[in-house]
Structure 1
Amino acid sequence: GNMADVSETELLRAWGDDSESRVILIYVEGLPDGQEFMQVAREVSRKKPIVAIKSGVTASGSRAVSSHTGSLAGSEAAYKAAFQQAGVLRAESMEALFDFARAFAYQPLPRGDRICIVTNAGGPGILATDALEHANMQLPHLSSGTVEALTSSLPGEASVANPVDLLGDASAQRYEMALELTLKDENVDGLLVIITPQAVTDIEETAHAIGRVVKNTDKPVLACFMGESRVRAGIDLLQEYGVPSYPFPERAAEALAAMNAYVRAQQVPQEKIERRDVDSDTVRQLFDRVRSEGRVSIGDSEARGILVAYGLPVPESRLAKTPEEAIKIADEIGYPVVLKIASPDILHKTDVGGVKLNLGSAEDVRDAFDLIVYRAQRYVEGAYIWGCLVQEMVPKGREVLVGMSRDPQFGPLVAFGLGGIYVEALKDVVFRVAPFGAQEADEMIHEIRAYPLLDGIRGEPRADHEAMVDSLLRISQLVTDFPEIVELDINPLVVFDEGRGAVALDMRLILAPAGESGSQE
């Protein structure tokens, strides 16, 4: 009980080599060692499907998990990322968990996402169509040969498109003929057969007909026998033939989508994570100094050294302790410039009015310096003020966020999303557990809702995709190299047009206190 001596990961490793099982189901409350789980799951999911359901995804559910087993539930974002990276399929309910399991256990995997529907009722066929498309499955056009064969064999009122509607008076023989023809079609990767009990429907004989066809195909066939007690005998017969039946077309469609998701995951080659050439010694020295001073927060002026050490471009900037120094630096950098408050006690500079943009003259710099320092001292009483950071004004680009928070179970959880001041309101952010490779970084960029803005809309040039991938990989390496990093935000990372790179404008970083590590024990 409560994983006293056996964990999910150990069972996973054992069942991965079990020749008597075709699919593994997991109920997860918490994982003591998330990284080990991911490593084992990656290996096992290459052998057979793993379907998991995670409880404790809400705040109340998380508290219930803690009181139940004493384990941390972990963040929903971390589990979503970890399951995806490890090839684990996620079921959102116990019903879906067993729906997926039956499909994997009894039917062959599809070669692709093209599904044909055969039905004796138009309504359920349309619902199945909607469900499959919502699950990102395809309803292909049947080949001309299949259409001609169906047309010559079916009543004139029948539909020979996909879905194939056999009409309410469809016999078992009509079903058998339609299934054989559609399953032979090269445009079809799998089939969903629907039956509703009507006046002349022979449920048992139709189940036998489906079973005979399934014996002679290597494509998955799922059934939807609607009608509960009136179709129970047929469902029992289908079970003998190894054909899962679902009471509603939506559930069958979700099971087919799960099978396709597993196949697609297997087609992605396992990535080798390549390390970049970085200066980790400089970062180590900075962290040691900050922690020796009893601090855990690192603001923009200090963080520049970290970014440079890990190969992330930053705008030219220097620290000024007085207005006169700021003017001298601005003259050397060239106008216009930006002024930012520099203080280890102020991480969110815009919240205290600590940033001034587009300063075009010495007078503007002097006035901005005095105003920024005054606001910082007023709004953050007792804050230690180093001065102001004078920074070159960077050209306009797309603003994105690259961040990290350390999950207690999975470790460094890297975030990517639309940046700027609206990131918390829009919550257009995706996550991956570090370390990861270029393929995962590329998928992160494509997964945010705002991706069309990065890809270029209405004639706008595409943002530099390669620069975003490179930035994600460098941050992944940084937070893996230094487990004492608890939180990190680069916001914004300004991404220019394709081929022109990206610049990290602002970064804040939180360390674990001296003597502690942010990594899981």
Structure 2
Amino acid sequence: MLLVIVTPQSMTEAVATAQALVDCKRRSKKPLVAVFAGDASFREALGVLAQGGVATFLYAEAAAEALGKLAQAGIWRKKTETTPFALNDVDPASARSVIEKAKSERRFRLHESEAKEILEHYGFLFPKTLIVKSPEEAQAAAQGFSRPFAMKVVSPDIIHKSDVGGVILSVTPEGTEAAYRTILENVSLKAPEAKVTGVLLSEMAPEGGKELILGIKEEPGLGKLIMLGLGGIFVEIFKDVSFRFAPLTEEDAEEMIAELKSEPLLAGARGQKAIDRKALLEAIGRLSRLVTDFPEIQELDINPLLAFEEGVPLLALDARMTLREEYK
């Protein structure tokens, strides 16, 4: 591994140094991390590093942490005889068409419905969902739901829908039109500049599942980290998460589960039902395959991902996906 730290001094040739590092990365197989701890004068150099795919940080501490993760990943790989995931039911071509449509429209933050469609092509299950564009259309669509459903605003400009009153839960067909109008009124007051393209109807999940989060985080220049942890609001409160660099093996996924402090809850502690561990392992493998097939995915969160007892498939309730801007 190679760590290079550059600071602003009168003799520092930042752009030339950046280009030399890019050339070094191309010639060497060793991981290379750069720290350009400077001011606005380093802007051009940072652009050169980004174009060349060099992992770059503003602070040495962050670079050291990233290198530590990469070193640990090497240890994990050597520690066991690895077994790749056997996934023969994924559909990369259909997922690609969704991503290409977003790129053609120069959008890098995908709609929730697009993120879900991509994940469905990789074997993830979601509750029944529909997108409607008027109160009347919502009312007609509601007749096809056998359970209460959530209604969520659809907008490329709104990330946290609940914060702007864009989510109403446990809606029944009788209250659909009123809920639709309430969502639009809330958004017009709290996010007046947001472009609203419709409202999503999503069937409410059955009770009894354990909430998990499964996601992807990019470490620039190093690769993609798969994240697993307690989901819902608990990921922010307890921060009980584990990470591995993709692509993953079955052993990697098993270790990710075992590392969680909440693992005893998942295994059925204190009389609770154990989750279907095999189903969770497979879900981790599916996400690893997705990000391996599509390196342009920069971030992805499935939160919550509901895990049930053995024999009951996992159910993903919400998903967010962002593409790297250079792939637009």
2:186 to 356, 372, 375: 375
Map 1:335-414 to 2 at 5 A.
Answer: 335-359=147-171, 361-396=172-207, 397-414=209-226
1:271 to 75, 83, 90: 83
User: What is the identity, as a one-letter code, of the residue corresponding to 2:313?
Assistant: G
Q: Secondary structure at the match of 2:143?
A: helix
Q: CA deviation at 1:293?
A: 1.2
Whose strand proportion is higher, 1 or 2?
A: 2
User: What is the identity, as a one-letter code, of the residue corresponding to 1:328?
Assistant: A
Map 1:75-114 to 2 at 5 A.
Answer: 78-87=66-75
* Structure 2 residue aligned with 1:327: 139
Matched-pair contact (CA < 8 Å) for 2:82–2:251: no
Cα gap change, 1:79/1:385 in structure 2, threshold over 3 Å: closer, same or farther? same
Structure 2 unmatched ranges of 5 or more:
5-23, 46-53
Q: CA deviation at 1:310?
A: 0.8
Matched-pair contact (CA < 8 Å) for 2:55–2:221: no
Q: CA deviation at 1:86?
A: 1.3
Separation (CA, whole Å) in 1 of partners of 2:144 and 2:203: 10
Cα gap change, 1:410/1:292 in structure 2, threshold over 3 Å: closer, same or farther? same
* Structure 2 residue aligned with 1:214: none
User: What is the identity, as a one-letter code, of the residue corresponding to 2:70?
Assistant: A
* Structure 2 residue aligned with 1:439: 251
User: What is the identity, as a one-letter code, of the residue corresponding to 2:244?
Assistant: R
* Structure 2 residue aligned with 1:294: 106
Cα gap change, 1:456/1:474 in structure 2, threshold over 3 Å: closer, same or farther? same
Q: Secondary structure at the match of 2:261?
A: coil
Separation (CA, whole Å) in 1 of partners of 2:321 and 2:73: 26
User: What is the identity, as a one-letter code, of the residue corresponding to 1:391?
Assistant: S
User: What is the identity, as a one-letter code, of the residue corresponding to 2:113?
Assistant: S
Q: Secondary structure at the match of 1:332?
A: coil
Kindly provide the CA deviation profile for residues 192-222 of structure 1, in whole angstroms up to 9, marking residues without a partner as x: xxxxxxxxxxxxxxxxxxxxxxxxxxxxxxx
Cα gap change, 1:78/1:416 in structure 2, threshold over 3 Å: closer, same or farther? farther
Identity %: 36
Separation (CA, whole Å) in 2 of partners of 1:78 and 1:472: 22
Cα gap change, 1:88/1:474 in structure 2, threshold over 3 Å: closer, same or farther? closer
Map 1:446-461 to 2 at 5 A.
Answer: 446-461=258-273
Matched-pair contact (CA < 8 Å) for 1:338–1:392: yes
* Structure 2 residue aligned with 1:484: 296
Map 1:114-125 to 2 at 5 A.
Answer: none
* Structure 1 residue aligned with 2:16: none
* Structure 2 residue aligned with 1:316: 128
TM-score by length of 1: 0.51
User: What is the identity, as a one-letter code, of the residue corresponding to 1:433?
Assistant: F
Matched-pair contact (CA < 8 Å) for 1:412–1:479: yes
Q: CA deviation at 1:377?
A: 2.5
Q: Secondary structure at the match of 2:301?
A: strand
Separation (CA, whole Å) in 2 of partners of 1:393 and 1:447: 30
Matched-pair contact (CA < 8 Å) for 1:327–1:365: yes
Separation (CA, whole Å) in 2 of partners of 1:426 and 1:62: 33
Kindly provide the CA deviation profile for residues 41-73 of structure 1, in whole angstroms up to 9, marking residues without a partner as x: xxxxxxxxxxxxxx99xxxx9949x99x99546
Map 1:7-406 to 2 at 5 A.
Answer: 36-37=29-30, 63=37, 72=57, 78-87=66-75, 266=79, 268-359=80-171, 361-396=172-207, 397-406=209-218
Kindly provide the CA deviation profile for residues 394-449 of structure 1, in whole angstroms up to 9, marking residues without a partner as x: 11211111111111132111111111023223211111100011111111111111
Cα gap change, 1:489/1:444 in structure 2, threshold over 3 Å: closer, same or farther? same
Cα gap change, 1:442/1:346 in structure 2, threshold over 3 Å: closer, same or farther? same
Separation (CA, whole Å) in 2 of partners of 1:302 and 1:406: 20
Separation (CA, whole Å) in 1 of partners of 2:225 and 2:231: 17
Matched-pair contact (CA < 8 Å) for 2:250–2:285: yes
Kindly provide the CA deviation profile for residues 223-275 of structure 1, in whole angstroms up to 9, marking residues without a partner as x: xxxxxxxxxxxxxxxxxxxxxxxxxxxxxxxxxxxxxxxxxx64x21333544
Separation (CA, whole Å) in 1 of partners of 2:182 and 2:145: 21
Structure 1 unmatched ranges of 5 or more:
5-30, 39-54, 90-264, 517-521
Separation (CA, whole Å) in 1 of partners of 2:174 and 2:29: 58
